[in-house]
Structure 1
Amino acid sequence: MSDMIDFATGAPGIGSRWTSSAKSGVGTALSVASPVWFTLSHGILNEIYYPRVDSACTRDFGFLVTGPDGYFSEEKRDCEQETTPLEDGVPAFSIVNTALDGAYRIRKQIISDPARAVVLQRISFSALKGRTRDYRVTALLAPHLVNAGASNSAWIGEFEGAPALFASGRSRYLALVSSAPWRAMSAGFVGTSDGWQQLSRHGRLVDQYQRADDGNVALAGEIDFSGGDGSVVLALGFGQTEHEAAAVATRSLKDGFDHALDKFITGWRKWQDGLVPLDRKAEDGINAYRVSTAVLATHRASDRPGAAVASLSIPWGYSKGDDDLGGYHLVWPRDLVETAGGFLAAGDAKAALAILDYLRELQQPSGRWAQNFWLDGKPYWPGVQMDECAFPILLADMLRCQGHLNGKTIRRFMPMIKSAAGYILANGPSTGEDRWEEDGGYSPFTLAVEITALLAAADILEAEGETKAAHHLRETADCWNEQIEKWTFEGDPDLCRSLDIAGYYVRIAAPGATDAAGPAGETPIRNQTPDRSIMASDAVISPDALALVRFGLRAADDPHIVDTVKAIDHTLRMELPQGPLWYRYTGDGYGEHEDGRAFDGIGQGRPWPLLAGERAHYELAAGRTDAAKALLETFEKSANAGGLLPEQSWDGPDMPDRELYFGRPSGSAMPLVWAHSEHIKLLRSLADGAVFDMPPQGRSRYIEKQTASRIRIWRFDNRLATIPAGKKLRIELADAATIHWSADGWSTVKDIKTKPSGLGTHFADLPLKGVEPGHAVVFTFFWPESGQWENVDFTVRVGEQVDRQLETEF
C-alpha cells in the first residue's frame, strides 16, 4: 500500500441519498448467529441491515466495468438484469447481469452466512466482446452506517496480513475482503474523489486514497479475476469493531461459500417444510406462496423474537436523505398483527405467538401502542391510531380461537388485553388517525376493528371470570355498532342519484353535530362538526368500508354495503393489464406526481394491490368464490418479476426514464409485508372456503342475533347533544363521581354514584323512562376525591323514539 495517498480530497462529498425501493429480492439466514439482512435491486446489493433489521448500513454495492478506448459501464444502469431465487421459498439469489451493449456478463450468487454477520457474493466475469483481461472490474461500496450517509469514514487497511476495505459510522463497522487479490483500492468522498468519479474519467483508480473521514464516503476495489476458476468470493462483514468485522468476513471466506450456502438453504427448507402447503406455481415459474412466506420471515428481527418491520425498503429512496431515518424499516403494530395473521394462515403459530408477546412487552402504560417505533420500542411518529390499539387484542383472540392460547399462556396476556380494551373504551370510537396515518374522525375501518376487539376482549375476560367487565365491553360495542350508519353512512347527493344508491360509508366522518355538545348553552369545542349538507358534498369514498364485512359486523349483502361497493367501484376501481385494482380513497395524495416525479409530501395516490386482496376476501364472504379467485390472479400478477408485491402500481403512461410502466410497481415500498400477509391469508381463505381471519363474535352478535343497544354513552370527549327516546344515558368518566341530575329543569333532583367498570373507567346509567321526546336531562358532577363540584351544567335532549320494542323493555 506504499503507492497510496493519505487522505481523499473533496470532503465531505455530495449530499447522501438512499436508493431505489424497487427490490428484486430480500434475504437473510434463519439464524440468530447472523444478524444481517440484504436487499437487491437493479442486479446489485442495496441496503444491508446490521445488527438489527431496522438499521440500514449500506446504500448499495455493485460493480463498474472499464476497458479499452474509454469504455465505462455500470452494471446497475447498463445491464439487462435477471434475479432468481436458487430454490422456491429460499431467499438465496442468482443474478445474471448482461451488458446492454453485449460487451460482458457478470454472474453472482448472493447469501448471508448463517454462522456470522456476513453477506457473501460469488462472482464471475466473462467478456462477450474481446478478452476478459481487456477489462477492469471494480467493486463500489457505499456505506451508510447506521441509517445515515453523512459522518461516515472509510479507509484501506489490513487484517491478518491481507488488505481489506473498512468503513465506520455511529459505532458500527464493516469490512470487505476478497478471495482474490485486489489490484487497486481507494476510499473517497461521493461525487468528488470516490471510485466512480475516477473510473468514469480515467478508466481505473489513478488516485488510491487511504482514508476519507466524516462525510458521504465510498470504497472501491479492483478485482483480479485471473486466478483459479475465474470466480471470486467477496465477503462483507459487520461488527462492533473493525477487527470483528474483518474477522467474521475472513472466517467466512475460509469456511467457503458452498459451506455457507448449504447451511443457508437447509435452514430455510426446514422452516418452509413445516408450513401448510398452499403452493401455487404461476406460468412464469414463480411459487407466489413461498415468495410471500419467505418475505414475512425475512423481515423478522433475529435478536428480538416477534419483532418485524413493515418493509426492507425506503419508498422513493433515491430522493430521500438522512432526514428520513425510518423509511419502512420500522414496526407498525397494525402491520405486525397482519404479519402474524400471515404466519398463522401459513401454519406457523409459534411466530404469531412471538409477535403477540413482543407487542405485550412494548405496550405503553396507558394501554395503547405507539403509532410506529424502532425495534426497542422507541416511538418514531407521534400519532395515535385506535385500530393499532385494537389489533393486538384480535391477534390474541385469533390465537385463542384456534387453540394456540389457553390456560397459563393466556393469563400472561390478560393485563395487556385488559389495558388495551380499557384504552379503547376510554378513547374510542374516534380514530385518532386513520389506518393510512392521516385524518381523524369516525372511520368504518377503525370502528370495525375497535368494536370487534371489545367483543373479543369480553370473551377472553369472561373466560377468566371477569364477567362484569366483559358485560361492560359488550354493551359499549353494541352502542358503537348501532351508530355506525349514523356516523359514517352519507354520500354526495349527485353521485348517489347517478348510481341509484341511498348513500355510502365514507372514509372518515367527523362526529355528527347531534353527537357533540358542550356545557349547557355553549358551542362544543371538541368534536365539532360542519353542517351535514356541506359534508355530503365532500364525502370521501374508500374501500375501508369493506372492513365491516371482513370483521363480521355487516353481511356482505347488507344494502348499505352493496350501495357502498357500487360507489367504490365507480370512483376507485382502475383497470390495469393484470386486472382491476383500487385506490385508497378519493383525493389520495400519496404517490408520484403526475409527471412521475417522486412523492415529496404531495403527489397523486396510485392503486394498491393489497386492496385487491381485501376485495377478494369480501367477494369470498359474499359467496362469490370465482370472483375471489380471479382477484387472487390479479393480486399475484401485480408483483414484480421475482414475485415481490409493491405498495402501489403505476397507473399512468409508460415513463421508461423513470422506470414507470403501466400496471407495474411504482416507486413506493416493495416488498410490502402487509401485502404478502394478505396474499397468504387469501390463499388460506380460498383453501378453507371461508375468510380465515374473520372474528366470530360480530357475525354471531349482530348478523345472526341482531343484538341492539339499550344505551348511549356520554363522555367528556364525546358529549352527546341528544339521545333517542327509549335509551339509557350512560355517563362514563375517568374518575369516580356523584352525578347530580334532573329531568325537569332542576325542579326535582337525583344523585347517583358511579361504579367502576373494571377497565379503568367509572360509569352510571341514568334511567330516562318517562322523559318525553324534546325534554332535556341536565347534570353535573361532584368529585369526592377532591371534594369539588364541576360547576358546569351539561344537557342532553331526548330525541324521537327509535325502537318501540326496546322502550317497553326498560
Structure 2
Amino acid sequence: MEAFGKPGIPPTWASSAKDWIGTALGRSRVWYTLGRGIVNEVYWPATGRPQMRDLGFIVAKRGFWAEVKRVNRYRLEATPLFPTVRVVHEGEEYRLTLELVPDPQRDVLLIGYTLEGEGFRLYPLLAPHLGGTGYGNTAWVKEGALLAATGSEALALLGPFLRGSAGYVGFSDGWQDFAQNGAMTWTFARAADGNVALMGELEGKKGVMALAFATTPEGALTLGRSALGEGLETIQEKASATWSEIASPQFPGEDEELLREAQVSYHVLKVHEDRTYPGALVASLSVPWGNTRDDPGGYHLVWSRDLVEVAFAYLALGQFAETRGILTYLAAVQAEDGHWAQNFYPDGRAYWQGVQMDEAALPVLLALKFRELGQLSPNGPLRQMVRRAVGFLAREGPVSPQDRWEESPGLSPFTLAVSVAALSGAALYGFLQGEEAEYALSLADCWNVRIEEWGYVKGSGLDRAVGVEGHYVRLSPSGPLGPRGRVQVANRAGVAVDVAELLGLEFLWLVRLGLRRPQDPRIVSTLALVDRHLRVDLPTGIFYRRYPEDGYGEHGDGSAFDGTGQGRAWPLLTGERGMYALLSGEDPCPYLRSMARGTGRGRLIPEQVWDADPIPEKGLLPGRPTGSAQPLLWAHAEYLKLYTAYHQRTGPVERLGRVMERYERGSSPQVRHWRREVPVLRLSPTERLLVECRKPFRLHLGWEGWKDPEDVEAEPLPFGLYGVLLDLEDHSEVNFTFFYPDENRWEGRDYQVRRG
C-alpha cells in the first residue's frame, strides 16, 4: 500500500555538529559521519555526493518509546586512524551499543547492534537523500530489506527485519507513527517521488545490519548480502589492515592533549581523501546548519584554497606522496586561463562562480615549496600549471573580485601576500624564464612595496584609542585614494563599515611569508588592535572573530544562519595567531591548546565556536562548536602546521626561502606598474612608469599639462598584457589618455602621474 502525505515536508540535511567521521580506505567508496550518536550523512561514490540524511534508532517497549538522538545520552569510543567506532546510548532502562565497520572491499557500512533492557525492541529510522537531495526519492520494502532509489543511485539497508514501512517525512514516516500511535502500526510498502523515510523492526536484540550503495537496488542488495555473509568480525580485521598500511607520521611531543589532537587532525585529513578522484579533498563532510536546509552544495565541495592548506599540512609532516597527488589533481581541474573555480565538485565541475585571486596564488606556492624541498622539477609536467596561474595573477591582479572569505572585492593583505610570493617565487625557482620571469619579479616588487599604500591607515579613531600610529585593514577598495571609504558587509543587509574599522588577521600572512618582519612596528600596532577588538577569551581558550560586523553565523538567539546572522569566533584564526606567536618568540602552546579544546565529543575542530552566553537547549555552549561546518579541514590543517612548526623548530611551511631573502633585503621596484584600478599618482626619481592594459591600446600623452603631445602604440607584454614604458627623466609630470584601436574609441578620461 502506498504511504500518504506525498511529497512530504521540505527536506533538510543533518546537523553539521559531527562527532566523528570514517571510511574504510581500500576500494570502498563510502564515507560516513556521526552526529548525536547516530549515522548521519553518508557519502558515495565520492566525497562530494551525500546520499542520506541520517540513520537513527527508536527503542521501544509496551507503553514507552524513545529516539536515541533526541535523548542525547551517549558515549563515543573512537580511535584516530582506526576504522571501527563504538557508540553506547543509555536511557531509561535500556542500553544500545552500536558498532560501525566500513567494508574496505565493498560500498557497504556494517552496523552491529546490541540492545539491553527487558521487553525492548529496536527500530532503525532511515532518511535517504539519494542524488544529493531529499527531493524525488522513492522508498520501498522488499524481501526483508529497506530500499530507496532515484535515477542511477540506490541504497539498501539489510538486517533481520520482521517488517518494514516506507513513508513521507512529516506525515507517514516511522517517527510520526510512534508520535501518534506509541508503536509501529504502519507497514506501507512504498512511498514514491518525494522526501521519504524508511523504518523497520529488527528481530532480536543483537545482530548486524548492512547499509549498501550501488547504481541499482539489485546491486545494493547484492553488496549488502555479500558483506553480511562475510561477517562483521572478518570485515573489521580487513578494514583495520587497510588503515595500518598508511604511512602515518610519528608525531613529536609529549603533551597528551595536544598530541591527541594532532592524531585526530591527521585522521580527518586522511578520511576526506577521495578515491574516485584521487587528490580531491572537500572542505568538510558536512552541511553547515544542515538541519535547517536542503543545500545541494554544503561544504562537500573542493576549494583550491582549503585543499592547498591541507597539502601544506601534509608537506609539514613529510607526506610527499599525498602532496604530489593534490598537485596533479589541481593541475587537472585548472581553468584554461589559469584560475580555479571558486569551488567545485570532486569531478571538477564548478559550483559557485566567484573568483578569488588567492585561490590561484596558493597552488603556485605549493608547487614552489615542493620544488624547494627537491620533490619537483621546474621543467616537469606541472610547469604549465604554475605558468598559467601566474599569468592569471599578473593579468587580473592585484584587486580580487572576492576576498578569502568569499565576500567582498578589493585589496587584501592576505591576497597580496600570497600573490607577491607566487609571482616572485615562480621566477626565483625557475618556473618562468626570460621576459616572463623579469616581468613577474618586477610586478611582485611593485605590488609588495605598495601594500601599505593600499592597506595601511594612520590616525584613525581605533589607532588613537590604543595609542598606536596606524594599522593594516583587512580589505580596501581599489582606486587612487588608498584605504578610504566604506565597504558593504556581506550577510548584513544595509550594513557598511568604514575601511579604517575593517580589522582582520589577514596581515599576519605578510609575516608568515617573509614579506615583513614580526617586529615591524606596523605589524605590532595592528596586532594590538586585533587582540583588543577581535580576540575572544572563552572557557576553552583564545579565539578570534574574522572582522567587525561579520554576519556569517548564528543569530543572537541561537537560531541558524539563514543568509544573515552574527559571525562567531574561528579556531583556524587561533592557529594563524599562534603561528605569529611562534615567529615572534611567544609561546604558541596556548593557541594550540585552545584549538584542541574548542571541539566536540570526538575532538573535531569546527569552523566556528559559540562566543556568547550559553543556550543549552540549542547545544550552544561558550567555546564549543556552533552549527557551522564540523570538522573543517582548513582548521585541522592549520593545527597540524602549527603543531609541527612548534615541535620541529621550523618556520611556516608555506614560507619560501628565496622569496623571504629577496624581501628581507628590501627589494625596491625599478618600475611602477600603472593599472586603471590601482593607478600610480607619484614616482620616485629612480623609477620608471609602465602603463598597462589587458587589451591593445594607443597612449596619447603629454608632459607638464599636455605639452609636446604624442601617440605611442602599446607593446605586447608577457601573459597577454599590453603596455607603454615611460621614463620621466627631467619631466615632473606626465599626462595621458587611452585610445583602443580594436574598438575605434577614446576612453574619454585623462590621467596624471607626477615625479618626485
Q: What corresponds to 2:216 in structure 1?
A: 241
Verify the 8 A CA contact 2:486 2:499 in the aligned structure 1: no
**1:54 matched residue in structure 2:** 48
| 1:491/1:539 contact within 8 Å kept | no
Q: Distance in 2 between matches of 1:174 and 1:382?
A: 32
Aligned-residue offset at 1:204: 3.0
Distance 1:712 1:666, change over 3 A: same
Match in the other structure for 2:105: 115
Aligned to 1:610: 572
Query: Corresponding residue for 2:86?
Result: 94
Contact 2:480 2:679 in 1 (8 A): no
Q: Which has the larger radius of gyration?
A: 1
* Unmatched 5+ stretches in structure 2: 488-495
Tell me what 1:200 maps to.
179
Match of 1:798 in 2: 754
User: Which residue of structure 2 aligns with residue 447 of structure 1?
Assistant: 416
State the AA in 2 paired with 1:566: A
Tell me the distance in 1 between the aligned counterparts of 2:132 and 2:155.
14
- Residue aligning to 1:184: 163
Aligned to 2:276, what secondary structure does the other structure show? Answer: coil
Deviation at 1:787, TM superposition (A): 9.5
Deviation at 1:680, TM superposition (A): 0.9
Determine whether 1:370 maps to 2:341.
yes
- Using a 3 Å threshold, how does the CA distance of structure 1 residues 743 and 219 change in structure 2: closer, same or farther? same
- Where does residue 273 of structure 2 map in the other structure? 300
1:734 equivalent to 2:734? Answer no
C-alpha distance in structure 1 between counterparts of 2:633 and 2:486, whole Å = 38
**Aligned with 2:476: secondary structure?**
coil
The equivalent of 1:154 in structure 2 is 139
CA distance 1:566–1:122, change in 2 (3 Å): same
Distance 2:636 2:432 in 1: 38
Q: Which residue of 2 aligns with 1:639?
A: 599
**Which one of 318, 337, 348 corresponds to residue 308 of structure 2?**
337
* Number of residues of Structure 1 aligned to a counterpart in Structure 2: 747
Flag the 1:93–1:136 CA change in 2: closer, same or farther, 3 A. Answer: same
Aligned residue in 1 for 2:490:
none
What are the residue-to-residue correspondences of 1:414-429 with 2, within 5 Å? 414-429=383-398
Aligned-residue RMSD, C-alpha: 2.2
Residues in 1 aligned to 2:306 and 2:515: alpha-carbon distance in whole angstroms: 22
Return the letter of the residue paired with 2:477.
Answer: A
Q: Which of 252, 256, 271 lines up with 1:282 in the alignment?
A: 256
Cα deviation, residue 316, structure 1: 0.9
Amino acid at match of 1:701: R
1:350-396 CA-partner distances (Å, limit 9, x unpaired): 11111111111111122111111112222211211111111110110
Give the deviation of 1:280 after TM superposition: 5.8
CA 1:280–1:25: 2 relative to 1, 3 Å: farther
Match in the other structure for 2:146: 165
Alignment correspondent of 2:291: 318
Q: C-alpha separation between the residues in 1 aligned to 2:713 and 2:198?
A: 72
1:686 aligns to 2:646 (yes or no)? yes
Provide the C-alpha distance between the structure 2 equivalents of 1:455 and 1:549, rounded to a whole number of angstroms.
16
Where 1:668 maps in the other structure, the secondary structure is coil
How many Å apart are 1:89 and its aligned residue? Answer: 2.1
CA pair 793-670 structure 1, distance change in 2 beyond 3 A: closer
The Cα shift of 1:422 comes to 1.1
CA drift of 1:688 comes to 2.3
- Inter-partner Cα distance in structure 2 for 1:171 and 1:551: 47
Contact 1:491 1:506 in 2 (8 A): no
Alpha-carbon separation, structure 1, partners of 2:466 and 2:739: 49
Instruction: Please list the CA deviations of residues 44-63 of structure 1 after superposition, one character each: whole Å capped at 9, or x if unmatched.
Output: 00000111111111100011
**Inter-partner Cα distance in structure 2 for 1:14 and 1:734:** 51
Question: Cα–Cα, structure 1 residues 529 and 538, in superposed 2: closer, same or farther, change >3 Å?
Answer: closer
Cα shift at 1:471: 1.2
1:269 paired to 2:244: yes
Instruction: Confirm or deny: 8 A CA contact 1:24 1:42 kept in the other structure.
Output: yes
1:776 corresponding residue in structure 2: 734
Distance 1:341 1:71, change over 3 A: same
Structure 2 residue 405 is matched with structure 1 residue 436: yes
Task: Tell me how far 1:771 sits from its aligned partner.
Answer: 1.4
**Amino acid corresponding to residue 303 of structure 2 in structure 1:** W
1:350 and 2:321 are equivalent in the alignment: yes
Displacement of 1:497: 1.2
Change (3 A) 1:411 1:38: same
Distance in 2, Cα, partners of 1:471 & 1:725: 21
Which residue does the alignment assign to 1:256? 231
Once the two structures are TM-superposed, the CA of residue 411 in structure 1 deviates from its matched residue by: 2.2
Mapping for residues 533-544 of structure 1, pairs under 5 Å: 538-544=500-506
Partner Cα distance (2:601, 2:259) in 1: 8
1:71 is aligned with what amino acid? F
- Deviation, structure 1 residue 754: 3.9
Answer whether contact 2:304 2:343 (CA < 8 A) is retained: yes
Pairing of 1:383-398 with structure 2 (within 5 A): 383-398=354-369
1:805 alignment partner in structure 2:
none
Matches of 1:506 and 1:438, distance apart in 2: 15
Partner of 1:653: 613
Residue 513 of structure 1: CA displacement? 3.0
For the 8 Å contact 1:22–1:670, the answer to whether it is kept is yes
Q: Counterpart of 1:661 in structure 2: which amino acid?
A: L
d(CA) in 2 for partners of 1:418, 1:121? 49
Residue 70 (structure 2) aligns with? 77
SS at match of 1:631: helix
The residue type equivalent to 1:623 in the other structure is G
When residues 431 and 789 of structure 1 are mapped into structure 2, their CA distance, relative to the original with a 3 A threshold, is closer
What SS class does the counterpart of residue 313 from structure 2 fall into?
helix
Pairwise CA distance, 1:190: 1.1
Are residues 1:696 and 2:663 paired? no
Q: Closer, same or farther in 2 for the Cα pair 1:787/1:628, shift >3 Å?
A: closer
Partner of residue 577 from structure 1, selected from 522, 535, 539: 539
Partners in 2 of 1:748 and 1:789 — Cα distance? 22
Tell me which amino acid in the other structure corresponds to 2:385.
M
Contact 1:185 1:205 in 2 (8 A): no
In structure 2, C-alpha distance between the alignment counterparts of 1:15 and 1:280, rounded to whole Å: 50
Paired AA for residue 251 in structure 2: P
User: What is aligned with 1:807?
Assistant: none
3-state SS of paired residue (1:597) = coil
Distance 1:93 1:701, change over 3 A: same
1:175 aligns with 2:150: no
Partners of 2:683 and 2:292 lie apart in 1 by 52
**Cα distance between partner residues in 2 of 1:500 and 1:194:** 63
Q: How far does residue 718 in structure 1 lie from its aligned partner after superposition?
A: 3.9
Q: 1:382-432, CA deviations, whole angstroms, 9 ceiling, x for partnerless residues?
A: 21111111111011011111111126xx52112211111111111111121
User: 1:29 and 2:28 equivalent?
Assistant: no
Q: What is the aligned partner in structure 2 of residue 806 from structure 1?
A: none
- Find the residue that maps to 1:198 and give its secondary structure: helix
Matched, 1:568 2:530: yes
| 1:693 CA displacement | 2.2
One-letter identity of the residue aligned with 1:576: L
Q: 1:550: which partner in 2?
A: 512
Q: Deviations over 1:621-647 (max 9, x none)?
A: 1122xx212211111111222120011
1:725-764 correspondence to structure 2 within 5 Å = 725-750=685-710, 752-764=712-724
Q: Secondary structure at 1:568's aligned position in 2?
A: helix
Shift, 1:150, TM fit: 1.4
Asked whether the 8 Å contact 2:701–2:734 carries over to 1, the reply is no
Q: Deviations over 1:106-137 (max 9, x none)?
A: 1111121100111111111111xxx2xx1121
Inter-partner Cα distance in structure 1 for 2:520 and 2:327: 33
Q: Which moved more, 1:263-272 or 1:239-248?
A: 263-272
In structure 1, distance between residues paired with 2:681 and 2:501: 23
Letter in 1 for 2:109: V
**Unaligned ranges ≥5, structure 1:** 1-5, 516-526, 802-810
> Does structure 2 retain, via aligned residues, the 8 Å contact 1:26–1:37?
yes
Identity %, equivalent residues: 38
Instruction: State the secondary structure of the residue aligned to 1:45.
Output: strand
User: 1 CA distance for matches of 2:536 and 2:180?
Assistant: 47
